[in-house]
Amino acid sequence: MIILIFFVLGLIIGSFLNVVVCRLELAESILGRSRCPHCKVLIRWYDNIPLLSFILLKARCRNCQGKISWQYPLVELATGIIFALVGYYFFIAADIQSWAETLFYLVSFSLLITVFFYDLKLMEIPMIILWIGVIWAVSYLVFLDWASFNSVNGLLFSKIISGIIGGGAAFLFFFALSYLSKEKWMGAGDAYVALWAGLIMGWPKILLALMLAFTVGAICGIILIALKKKTIKSQIPFAPFLAGGVILAVFLEKVLPQVEYWYSVFK
């Protein structure tokens, strides 16, 4: 039941993220009701139900029959599934600390999904979303350290230090890639996404996220080249792979107990 609530919440947030992606692109205010991008008619509330409206309207605007982009149901469904997984793996109603962790992942993943689709669509990183994500991650880490201030763990296990090391290492690595290749392999913006990813994951967990990002990125690159959609020289945005790598790594640790062991090697 709780999973279903998380799923529906994810659908609604996903619907909102679609609006964020579109309005950031057009530099419009996030408030105000949605309009059809073709005929500019206000979309009625019953035509604005996540997932369902897309199916019922057969991907067309009720007014002008203009095509509705696949982006909308895709973002909604992806957000719904990711929210359901966060609810399943992190949320325990009786444990107040799990509420904080759940909220942290829900917000961070929502922002990552926004960056994912925005960069995929426009080959550009929405810096405002990125900095909100960085501030959110730092605040959470400081809160965690403050909450466990009296424990004997000491500095070595401090979350904020682990986050800074993870973020710093990832940032330097991507910054070097971008600098050495004069932004041909990697854009400078990707280095900031890597910094954010490192803050979310911490050290050494960021390594798994980066490995997943590069593996999936390489596979997609090969497929695109094989399909002749891209050549070796063409730019493929990397931030979506980083965002996906972080989300995958967070869940992989929960699914595969081996991951825990793998991390301990790098500590």
Q: Which residues bind Zn ion (CB under 5 A)?
A: 36, 38-39, 61, 63-64, 66
Q: How near is the Cβ of 144 to Zn ion at its closest, in Å?
A: 47
Written as six digits, the tokens of 267 are: 């500590």
Contact 32, 129 (CB under 8 A): no
Find the shortest distance in angstroms from Cβ 66 to Zn ion.
4
| d(C-alpha 160, C-alpha 164), whole Å | 6
Task: Give the nearer residue to Zn ion in terms of CB position, either 36 or 81.
Answer: 36
Q: What angle do CA 55, 106, 161 make, to 5 degrees?
A: 150
What does residue 74 show for φ and ψ, rounded to 5 degrees? -65, -45
Contact 253, 259 (CB under 8 A): yes
| Pick 47 or 190: Cβ nearer Zn ion | 47
Nearest distance from C-beta of residue 72 to Zn ion, angstroms? 13
59 or 236: CB nearest Zn ion: 59
Q: How far is the CB of 61 from Zn ion (least distance, A)?
A: 3
Residue 60 β-bridge partners: 67
Rank residues 36 and 74 by Cβ distance to Zn ion and give the closer one. 36
Please state the closest distance from residue 13 (CB atom) to Zn ion, in A.
24
Task: Work out the burial of residue 126: count CB atoms within 10 Å of its CB; fewer than 13 is exposed, 13-18 middle, 19 or more buried.
Answer: buried
Q: How far is the CB of 23 from Zn ion (least distance, A)?
A: 17
Can you give the three-state secondary structure of 122-163, one letter per residue? HCCCCHHHHHHHHHHHHHHHHHHHHHCCCCCCCHHHCHHHHH
Residue 245: CA count within 13 A, CB half-sphere: 26
DSSP string of 59-78, one letter each residue: TB-TTT-PBPPTHHHHHHHH
Nearer to Zn ion, 34 or 63 (CB): 63
CB nearer to Zn ion: give 2 or 64. 64
d(CA 217, CA 236): 9
